[in-house]
A and B are shown apart, each in its own frame.
Chain A
Amino acid sequence: MTAVKLPSDAEAAVATPEFEAAAIRQESRRGFLLAMPSYAYLVLFFAVPLVIVVVYSFATRNRFGGTDLSGWNLASYARLSEPIVRDILFRSLWLALLTTLICLVIAYPFAYYLATRTPVVRNLMLVFVMIPFWTNFLVRNYAWRVILGNDGPFTDVTEAIGLGERELLFSKTAVVLGLVYSFLPFMILPLYAAIERIDKRLLEASRDLYASGWQSFRKVLLPLSMPGVIAGSILVFVPSLGAYVTPDILGGSKTTLLGSYIVTQFLTARNWPFGAALSFVLMAVMLTTTVVYFRKGGRTL
């Protein structure tokens, strides 16, 4: 009978503040121990690297392509105002913005349609949005390279409809097309989640009160789905701004964007401090948009 040690009745019955505090402390320690390995891992292999990038962005590139960490300066950030760099920054911002807008225009009606289907149809439709979402990113971009390439299906189509042989590959249009293709699911999913959450009776009420379809969209549906619009826009805008694979495969050398420019600094130009400064700019944009999102009461999806 002594094999199982039961807590004595007195111990369990008297829930003194001390007893409770000790129990809470013990729980807290358990939680911390569980989180500990990942916590330590992420500090070492994520937070520390993040700090190193910031430190590098203040360093100087020496004559041999190495980096001198002594003597911090803002030279790398000053270079951001150089015409070439400014062009790249503005081009990236513009193309990322354009991608976001196009995704929004395509995804909004799609998400609304999705949200008004019956559950069975809806789940099926969602599954077919998820499949490209998880399909190999590189391969999906490569597919467009094949389609838009020399004598590929795209030129077949333009010739057939009498537009002549059009060359779309290695242009900004091709890059935006690739980006929209890559990130459209990122827009559809949060928009759908937001629209689905809306009480549909509000839309009915607005129509009952003689709002036109447009007014009901503008004054009821759109404001209520705003969290989804913002979340989707961030999820498309940030990766588009930092895109590297898509512009590299579809844009060629003429349309350098921020992502590819950063890579060049590390793998070819060997100017690590400048590359680190550019990465920091990208990171700052990401953090700002995310913080704004959460301040506005956004929620994780």
Chain B
Amino acid sequence: MSKLLDKTASRTAGSAVEPHGWTKGVLLANGWLVYAFFYAPILLLVIFSFSDSRNVGVWGGFTLDWYEGFVDSRQTQAALWNSVKIATVSTVVSVVLGTMSALALERFKFRGKQVFDALLYLPIIIPDVTMAVMMLLFFAEFFDVLNAVFGTELRKGFSSIALSHIAFSISFVSVVVRARLAGMSSHLEEAALDLYATRWQAFRFVTFPQILPGILGGALLAMTISLDDVVITQFVTGPGWTTLPVYVFGLIRRGVTPLINAVSVVMLMASMTLVALSLLVERVRNVGTNQRRGF
């Protein structure tokens, strides 16, 4: 995605292909309609979360009751903390593993590289439901085996959810970091090595500062995906480990209540904040790139 944004800066729009006449009108209208389509539902949801009415889609005056309900509800608070804990652990692990695999794929040749590349690509395109089924069957069959082999005490719950989230987050982190690595030449690292830096020093003082925006972007992405996931978590969760999206999904299936509006808006704000942060990181990254090119 960052590639798309980077590239736009280099070219300008051609004037002769500039739409005119009724085509222009249609394109413009379509554009505004698309944005209205994207944002109107979100906006309405936010408005109705402040509505003093039992009916979720009816305006009945301003109130903060539903947010109080969210803060007071022990279940939502517990679910929120579960989500945060799982997202934190899966983000940290997948950032380390994802960055390592990005470096390996972008900077080295090794046996089995193509297979690894394909394997890394699959979790991104596989449908949620299929991944959920895979993890469910895996943990049903192999948790006992894993515990016996590694002497661990894994149970369905925190470990199964975190392990599943890491399994798909690695790929997303690695894609983002790779994009960053692909956009920068390896000359600086080579120069550092020529000047007798150890491999670790070259990474720590030359490569790492340069790919840091990519790593941060990947981390925010991994966190967003982990916090949003419903389907896979629902399949591998265990007693006491309901996450916020799974809890909300359960509530929706039982019937909509204004409390769900409020919880939804809280989740909405959380993911909006993460998006805003990653866009900010993207900006920093672009500035960095331009400076390096001598602008």
Contacts and interface: CB of A to CB of B under 8 A. Distances in A.
Contacts of A132: 38-39, 42
B165 to A, nearest CB: 10
Contacts of B208: none
Interface string A141-171: 0111111011111000000000000000000
Contact of A136 (B103, B113, B271): B271
Contacts of A110: 27, 30-31, 34
Interface of chain A, main secondary structure: helix
Contacts of A87: none
A42 B26 CA distance: 47
Interface in A179-197: 181, 184, 188-189, 192-193, 196
A268 B48 CA distance: 34
Nearest to B21: A213
Interface size on B, as a range, is 35 or more
Contacts of A283: 126-127, 130
B134 A49 contact: yes
A131 interface: yes
Contact of A45 (B101, B127, B164): B164
A118 B10 CA distance: 11
Given A113-B31, A128-B38, A138 B57 contact: no
A147 B41 contact: yes
B64 interface: no
B248 to A, nearest CB: 6
Interface string A205-216: 001000001000
A181 B138 CA distance: 33
Interface size grouping (class) on chain A: 35 or more
A55 to B, nearest CB: 9
Interface in B182-238: 196, 199, 221, 224, 227-228, 230-231, 235
B16 interface: yes
Nearest to B53: A151
B105 interface: yes
B44 to A, nearest CB: 6
Interface centre among B18, B134, B252 (most CB of A within 10 A): B134
Contact of A35 (B58, B104, B128, B252): B104
A151 B59 CA distance: 10
Interface stretch (A14-22, A73-81, A272-280): A272-280
15 contacts: A32-B112, A34-B104, A46-B134, A49-B137, A113-B19, A132-B42, A134-B275, A139-B267, A151-B55, A153-B57, A192-B4, A242-B128, A245-B249, A282-B129, A286-B130
Minimum-distance CB pairs A-B, first 8: A31-B108, A152-B57, A242-B127, A49-B134, A31-B110, A200-B14, A35-B104, A49-B138
